[in-house]
Structure 1
């Protein structure tokens, strides 16, 4: 992976951002920016779980269909989904049709709905303090002590499809950690 690429606009970015226009927009406008609302975090958790074993670009391009299929990722609405919704989702070509992941998304909404204080407070409690930005992509971990602790706690609370690697990807995507390399123009 190239650590930094300079775009036509003269801005240095994390190397992965230059591979497609979709990634460029996601990198510049969303990835790593803090998400602190419950539904927004539930959406990112769900999408990261669906990404497991697939390319992120697949999920990113299907995101509008995921939003439509999962009621805008409103926790309270998805928590009411039943077997008819599972069957509907399995027939939706706009999303990834994986029964285990669909059922996990619904179970996770139910678990999130039961949390006292909300999912945002819980997830952000695992954010490391004062972690420096990586010098290059080789310094970006796939798993950390914090993501292991987050995954373990989520599993204990009934969440599914959120292992330590998925938990760390969630932390990156939602600004709990800033893994934009030092030379990248995005400085959160």
Structure 2
């Protein structure tokens, strides 16, 4: 989808011209480019074959337009292909280039200025990031849910490796009790669990605390 470029956007100091000047300034190739080449590259970024087609095309009022995130992504793809495929740069900082492209004055273009209601370009990075995040989340099979899921005692025990008392012989289900079995070591098996039966000998006899 093309970005609609209206005649007013081609006036000196207007949207298309200002973005082309930004492209010329930020071009990371080994050799600088002229404004005419920057205009042709920008035309490709915005969905046209060249600058001549931009000048000869007058979009209808209310024409559809791509999101800012799509425009930035298309600019990155076009410029990277030109730099690498065209052998015009052995190395360039992709992250820096993306930051520069995001900072280009796209809101000076009529279609985006009318959509956002102003030409403050600081909103571009916010809009692009929001659209990229939403696009990423939409592509996921399962979107993250908000809030936390309550963990059951059993799940917590499983996560920590703890075994319930009633599943092990290490614990005796007797509270301050003395085992009736003389062979049972009460000093080891006395426990703080409530009334119950000793694992070794059954019901305990309770001591009297002094």
Q: TM-score, normalised by structure 1?
A: 0.30
| Structure richer in helix, relative to its length | 1
Structure (1 or 2) with the larger CA radius of gyration? 2
With a CA cutoff of 8 Å and minimum separation of 6, indicate the structure with the bigger relative contact order. Answer: 1
